C-alpha cells in the first residue's frame, strides 16, 4: 500500500512539474509576443523593411479581401509604402505548448498619426519559436467593419 501511495505521489508531482513548466513557457512566450506587438507599428512606420524582423522567413500574411502573401520578399513588397498609422494589439487568448508554436487571438485598434481612430478588428497569429526568438509565422487579420465602398 505504501508503495502505491508513493508511486501515485511521484506521478502527480511529475505531472504538476510538467504543467508548471508548460505554464512558465507560455508566460515567457506571452512576454516576448507582447514586446513584439508593442514595436510592430513603429517598425511598419519606418518603411525600411525592419518590420520583417517580426516574421519568420517563410511567413504568410492573410490580409482581408486579398490573396495570401508569403515569404520575406513578398511581405516586403506588401509593407512597402504602407499606411502611416499606429496599431495597438490587445491579446485576448494565447494558447499552445509554447515549445515550438503558440496561437494568439487579439483585437487591434488602428489610429492615424494624430491619434484619431481609423479602424478596429481582430487578429489570429501563429507564432513560431526560432533561434532568434518568437516570430510571426501565419498572420490573419480583418476589420470589424464592412469594406468602404
Q: Which CATH architecture has domain 2-143?
A: Roll (3.10)
Determine contact, residues 99/128, Cβ cutoff 8 Å: no
Dist CA 92 CA 75 (whole Å): 26
> Where along the chain do its domains lie?
2-143
User: Residue 22: what pLDDT?
Assistant: 77
Banded pLDDT at 81 (limits 50, 70, 90): confident
Q: What is the value of pTM for the model shown?
A: 0.83
User: Residue 15: what pLDDT?
Assistant: 44
The pLDDT tens digits of the residues spanning 34-62 come to: 999 999 989 988 888 999 999 999 999 99
User: Residue 148: what pLDDT?
Assistant: 83
The pLDDT tens digits of the residues spanning 105-118 come to: 999 999 999 999 99
Distances 42 to 37, 45, 84, 100, 114 between C-alpha atoms, Å = 10, 5, 10, 27, 14
Amino acid at each position: 500500500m505504501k508503495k502505491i501511495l508513493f508511486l501515485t505521489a511521484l506521478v502527480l508531482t511529475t505531472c504538476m512539474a510538467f504543467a508548471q513548466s508548460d505554464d512558465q513557457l507560455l508566460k515567457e512566450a506571452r512576454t516576448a509576443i507582447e514586446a513584439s506587438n508593442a514595436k510592430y507599428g513603429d517598425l511598419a512606420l519606418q518603411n525600411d523593411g525592419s518590420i520583417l524582423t517580426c516574421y519568420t522567413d517563410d511567413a504568410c500574411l492573410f490580409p482581408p479581401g486579398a490573396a495570401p502573401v508569403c515569404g520575406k520578399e513578398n511581405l516586403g513588397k506588401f509593407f512597402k509604402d504602407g499606411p502611416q498609422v499606429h496599431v495597438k494589439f490587445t491579446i485576448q487568448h494565447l494558447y499552445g505548448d509554447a515549445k515550438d508554436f503558440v496561437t494568439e487571438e487579439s483585437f487591434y485598434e488602428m489610429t492615424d498619426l494624430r491619434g484619431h481612430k481609423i479602424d478596429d478588428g481582430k487578429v489570429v497569429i501563429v507564432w513560431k519559436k526560432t533561434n532568434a526568438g518568437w516570430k510571426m509565422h501565419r498572420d490573419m487579420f480583418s476589420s470589424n467593419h464592412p469594406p468602404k465602398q
